[in-house]
Chains A and B, each alone.
Chain A
Amino acid sequence: MEEKKKKRIGVYICHCGGNISDYVDVAQVRELAGKDDFVVVAKDVMFACADSNQKDMVADIKEQGLDAIVVASCSPKLHLHTFRNVALRAGLNQYQYVQVNVREQCSWPHHDDRKLATGKAAGLVEAGIRRVMGAESHETIRVSAARSVLIVGAGVAGMRAAISLASIGNEVVLVEKAAEPGGKLAGRKDLFPGDVSGESIVQDLAARVRATPNIKLFCGATVSGVCGSMGQFQVKVNVGGQPAEDLEFTVGAVLIATGFDPYKPEPGEYSMGSPGVIPIGEFVKLVESGSGELMHQGRRVRSVGFIYCVGMRQTKGKNKYCSRVCCSGAIQASLSMHRRYPGVQAYHFYRDIRAYGKQEVMYTESSKAGDVYFMFTEKEPPVVTADGSGAVIKVKDSLTKKQEVEVPVDLVVLVTGMVPQADSGAIAASFKVPIGADGFFNEIHPKLRPVETVINGVFLGGSCQGPKNVTETLSSALAASAKINAVIGKGVIDLDPVIARVDSSKCVWCGKCAAVCEYGALVEMERDGRNFAIVDEPSCVGCGVCAPVCPTNAIELACFTDAEIEGMIDGFALDQNINITETAAAEESAAPSVTMKEYPAQWHMILEAMKDGPISIPDIAKASGLDASLVTRHVMTMNRYRVAEPAGLDDSEQYYLYQQKS
């Protein structure tokens, strides 16, 4: 068999810019891999997925005549296709590529023990090498995809996606649990930025949804059952009524657009529950309901105090994130109040103002309108006392060296952010989509695959994924629509050729495999007076359930053959024979080092930017005036030389922060 021949293998071990190399001695792992007889190329690289490295890999494959490649990096969920494409570009069969997860399953969970993490990484790489040795070449297989989509949630995200998907020829089933579509923007008037009201956006979208024949909108409805997989999901929709009725649909893909819930302040939090203390949602409704004199519960309101970040950015609590929209939402509400009720004074009690992008203009406008801003810290939040005849907000103002200020106001507005939608847990369970530590739905990767989930065919749109304003909500809904159409638009999907096969010479036709196959994919054949099983390939979904029941081990599942799985086990076993103790310690002490004098001039500029604590690469670039890509390269090298180190993600979970190494 062609596959059994000895292969020339290339192994690439990724630093992931420190995510792996900070906890695993990658040079050691590369060295150990290089000792393998079949490994012709062994390299450790800063970012395996970088274009430059991909080009090098293509060159290696061609120049060194490689038959197979192994990349030890992040989870295959992220980059399997990236590197399969590298193989394809180099003229190699894409199944001659194995990805080994040394990040999510090694450097990160074992970050507390460099020696053991390195030992495990070596074992994982060896397993990858052995697996690829047993790998066979395959072509992808095609399944038909229903050109229809289930969208859960008819807020602006769900409706916008529905219109977009329908306009390019897909059927859409749009399911909304409320009586009317629109979500949080229904009935809203003044929105930032610009002067389009929430109401008009919702009415316009809802009218277009209702006028589109290939969108079926069900309000007061929920999803009551899901089975099947990408291309052919069978979904049940409970459309209410007496008795409640379930409708069934076959859809090729699913978009989750279930939105968020506003954070509900705890009773007593900033005197929540006392008269004259209300959350921002209620305040916005109050402001938008009229003009002239602002009244609340029969009392005239002449001054308003906004307290920001309520329930958000809790260093110790559950909601560690920033809700992004609430600063701008509060400033917008204040401006809207000035327009409708001239003469009301606004005071803002904030931790940081995150009126990013064009929203900054509103911030300036509000200051010009005479709004007064006080800054507080998380440790010393304002104290609110309210007794029905008015309220007092006491704060230590950080802007004036923590001078204590007492501000009497008629109304206290708690600027609350966004929390995960109440039944997102149930939705997660029915679609098997993971939820992050913050409780919002998790995408595969925030930068690389921001609208896809680990479940093939299930996508995310809008604020169900994390705090988003309308612009961001619609961008993500449209991105998800484009992704969905790319998957189902051709009516066929190319899938991994993971299907079963029967070795007819071993089969004794006992029928056990056929009895367990849910898909009727195992059929009896007769040839030369012998009966045996064969696999009807289009029916086989590749579960592999038939393989363990075969008494003669006649069945193998492609990509999960005995050679591949047992090869991996052999690889894992091998690392035990490697004594890495001394070498690793030696290596560690021999880690590259430089003295201050030797630092390149730009390192000093970067260190200067880091002097106030952890900072992201874009911020270093801004502070130092250096080009961001140059900063990236310097910071990676500084990390390697132990001059700087990663310090976790920033609040928005968008950027890694870096700090001076102590």
Chain B
Amino acid sequence: MQKLTSSPKILVFSTEKISDPGIDQAGLRKIHYSPSVYVISVPCSAGIKPKWIMHAFAQGFDGVFIAADGHECSYTPKCSELTNELIEHSQKLMQAKGIDPKRIRMAAICSVCAEQFASHMANFTRILVELNGKAE
């Protein structure tokens, strides 16, 4: 596969009302993060299907990052718990395919978290570079 850049490709699932504005804010303030980061918005992080995560890995993504509302979720107080469950479930599916469970991560990103988002992307990129190195 021809790659534009060797930088690891990250799929971010982000919540429409809380995390998206934070990510947009990073752009608005021209805070740099890797151009290999792609964002899909969803209403709630607890609604992400493990099937989608597996599809991303199958399509060549190096990592999946879940930008969640944490305790801020306006839909369900069990948001963090349920998001953790779907991550654990995904990690089982990943392990079965030989994908390192460290390739999925979650953090709470809210509408004021522009810098935090960029630094999460930088850290995750570093981790994925290391994992990619090991895999070779």
Which residues of chain A have C-beta atoms less than 8 A from B51's C-beta?
Answer: 553, 562
Which residues of chain B have C-beta atoms less than 8 A from A103's C-beta?
Answer: 27
Tell me the residues in window 75-89 of chain B with beta carbons closer than 8 Å to chain A beta carbons. Answer: 75-79, 82, 85-86, 89
Which residues of chain A have C-beta atoms less than 8 A from B50's C-beta?
Answer: 548
Which stretch of A33-41, A56-64, A194-202, A572-580 is in the interface?
Answer: A572-580
Given the contacts A228-B74, A543-B75, A573-B61, A432 and B30 also touching, CB distance less than 8 Å:
no
Contact pattern, B 33-47, Cβ under 8 Å of A = 1, otherwise 0: 101101110111011
B59 CB to nearest A CB, Å: 4
B20–A541 touching, CB < 8 Å? no
Which residues of chain B have C-beta atoms less than 8 A from A553's C-beta?
Answer: 49, 51
Given the contacts A77-B24, A543-B43, A576-B1, A227 and B35 also touching, CB distance less than 8 Å:
no
Partner of B42 from the list A101, A227, A544, A549 (CB cut-off 8 Å) is A544
B47–A543 touching, CB < 8 Å? yes
Which residues of chain A have C-beta atoms less than 8 A from B86's C-beta?
Answer: 548-549
A109–B75 touching, CB < 8 Å? no
- Answer whether residue B134 sits at the interface, using C-beta atoms and an 8 A cutoff: no
Which residues of chain A have C-beta atoms less than 8 A from B72's C-beta?
Answer: 432
- Answer whether residue B25 sits at the interface, using C-beta atoms and an 8 A cutoff: yes
A639 to B53 Cα, complex, angstroms: 41
A573–B60 touching, CB < 8 Å? yes
Point out which of B3, B31, B43 has the most chain A C-beta atoms below 10 A from its C-beta. Answer: B43
- Answer whether residue B23 sits at the interface, using C-beta atoms and an 8 A cutoff: yes
Chain A residue at smallest Cβ distance from B24: A104
A648 to B85 Cα, complex, angstroms: 45
Partner of B27 from the list A109, A432, A580 (CB cut-off 8 Å) is A109
- Answer whether residue A212 sits at the interface, using C-beta atoms and an 8 A cutoff: no
B112–A434 touching, CB < 8 Å? yes
- Answer whether residue B22 sits at the interface, using C-beta atoms and an 8 A cutoff: yes
Given the contacts A498-B43, A560-B42, A548 and B111 also touching, CB distance less than 8 Å:
no
Which residues of chain B have C-beta atoms less than 8 A from A428's C-beta?
Answer: 111-112
- Answer whether residue A631 sits at the interface, using C-beta atoms and an 8 A cutoff: no
Which residues of chain B have C-beta atoms less than 8 A from A577's C-beta?
Answer: 1-2
Chain A residue at smallest Cβ distance from B73: A543
Chain A residue at smallest Cβ distance from B121: A109
B68 CB to nearest A CB, Å: 12
- Answer whether residue A54 sits at the interface, using C-beta atoms and an 8 A cutoff: no
A123 to B60 Cα, complex, angstroms: 14
Given the contacts A544-B42, A545-B82, A116 and B35 also touching, CB distance less than 8 Å:
yes
A182 CB to nearest B CB, Å: 30
Tell me the residues in window 35-91 of chain A with beta carbons closer than 8 Å to chain B beta carbons. Answer: 75, 77
Chain A residue at smallest Cβ distance from B81: A516
B112–A113 touching, CB < 8 Å? no
Point out which of A228, A442, A553, A576 has the most chain B C-beta atoms below 10 A from its C-beta. Answer: A576
A230 CB to nearest B CB, Å: 10
Which residues of chain A have C-beta atoms less than 8 A from B9's C-beta?
Answer: 572, 576
- Answer whether residue A302 sits at the interface, using C-beta atoms and an 8 A cutoff: no
B112 CB to nearest A CB, Å: 5
Chain B residue at smallest Cβ distance from A455: B17
Tell me the residues in window 170-185 of chain A with beta carbons closer than 8 Å to chain B beta carbons. Answer: none
Point out which of B28, B49, B52 has the most chain A C-beta atoms below 10 A from its C-beta. Answer: B49
Which residues of chain A have C-beta atoms less than 8 A from B21's C-beta?
Answer: 77, 434, 454
Given the contacts A113-B35, A560-B47, A580 and B55 also touching, CB distance less than 8 Å:
no
- Answer whether residue A203 sits at the interface, using C-beta atoms and an 8 A cutoff: no
Which residues of chain B have C-beta atoms less than 8 A from A188's C-beta?
Answer: none
Tell me the residues in window 484-501 of chain A with beta carbons closer than 8 Å to chain B beta carbons. Answer: 498
A124–B30 touching, CB < 8 Å? no
B23 CB to nearest A CB, Å: 6
Partner of A547 from the list B47, B56, B59 (CB cut-off 8 Å) is B47
B28–A120 touching, CB < 8 Å? no
B11–A433 touching, CB < 8 Å? no
Which residues of chain A have C-beta atoms less than 8 A from B2's C-beta?
Answer: 576-579
- Answer whether residue A288 sits at the interface, using C-beta atoms and an 8 A cutoff: no
The total of chain B residues at the interface (CB under 8 A) is 58
A433 to B21 Cα, complex, angstroms: 9
A548 to B66 Cα, complex, angstroms: 14
B43–A542 touching, CB < 8 Å? yes
B40–A576 touching, CB < 8 Å? no
A646 CB to nearest B CB, Å: 12
B59–A569 touching, CB < 8 Å? yes
B84 CB to nearest A CB, Å: 12
Partner of A120 from the list B38, B43, B44, B76 (CB cut-off 8 Å) is B38
Contact pattern, B 79-118, Cβ under 8 Å of A = 1, otherwise 0: 1001001100100000000000000000000111000001
- Answer whether residue A108 sits at the interface, using C-beta atoms and an 8 A cutoff: yes
B52–A120 touching, CB < 8 Å? no
Which residues of chain B have C-beta atoms less than 8 A from A227's C-beta?
Answer: 74
A109–B60 touching, CB < 8 Å? no
Given the contacts A560-B47, A572-B11, A573-B61, A545 and B28 also touching, CB distance less than 8 Å:
no
B32–A110 touching, CB < 8 Å? yes
A119 to B2 Cα, complex, angstroms: 12
Given the contacts A109-B32, A562-B51, A77 and B60 also touching, CB distance less than 8 Å:
no
- Answer whether residue B67 sits at the interface, using C-beta atoms and an 8 A cutoff: no
A560 to B22 Cα, complex, angstroms: 21
Partner of A565 from the list B1, B35, B52, B79 (CB cut-off 8 Å) is B52
A109 to B59 Cα, complex, angstroms: 24
Tell me the residues in window 539-572 of chain A with beta carbons closer than 8 Å to chain B beta carbons. Answer: 541-549, 553, 557, 560, 562, 565-566, 568-570, 572
- Answer whether residue A111 sits at the interface, using C-beta atoms and an 8 A cutoff: yes
Chain B residue at smallest Cβ distance from A124: B38
B105 CB to nearest A CB, Å: 17
- Answer whether residue A127 sits at the interface, using C-beta atoms and an 8 A cutoff: yes
Which residues of chain B have C-beta atoms less than 8 A from A572's C-beta?
Answer: 9, 11, 38, 59, 61
A434–B25 touching, CB < 8 Å? yes
- Answer whether residue B135 sits at the interface, using C-beta atoms and an 8 A cutoff: no
A359 to B48 Cα, complex, angstroms: 55
A543–B39 touching, CB < 8 Å? no
Chain B residue at smallest Cβ distance from A435: B112
- Answer whether residue A330 sits at the interface, using C-beta atoms and an 8 A cutoff: no
A570 to B5 Cα, complex, angstroms: 18
- Answer whether residue A115 sits at the interface, using C-beta atoms and an 8 A cutoff: yes
Tell me the residues in window 1-16 of chain B with beta carbons closer than 8 Å to chain A beta carbons. Answer: 1-5, 9, 11
Partner of B3 from the list A115, A229, A576 (CB cut-off 8 Å) is A576
A106 to B78 Cα, complex, angstroms: 33
Tell me the residues in window 96-126 of chain A with beta carbons closer than 8 Å to chain B beta carbons. Answer: 101, 103-106, 108-113, 115-117, 119-120, 123-124
Task: Show 14 residue pairs from A and B whose CB-CB distance is below 8 angstroms, ordered by the A residue.
Answer: A116-B36, A428-B112, A432-B17, A432-B74, A454-B21, A516-B78, A518-B77, A543-B44, A543-B47, A546-B47, A562-B52, A573-B60, A573-B61, A579-B2
Shortest beta-carbon contacts, A-B, top 10? A544-B47, A104-B27, A434-B111, A543-B75, A116-B35, A573-B59, A108-B27, A104-B24, A119-B4, A110-B35
**Sample of 16 further A-B pairs with CB below 8 A, known A544-B44, A547-B49, A575-B4:** A101-B39, A104-B27, A112-B32, A116-B35, A117-B35, A120-B36, A227-B74, A434-B25, A454-B111, A516-B46, A545-B46, A545-B79, A548-B49, A548-B50, A548-B89, A569-B61
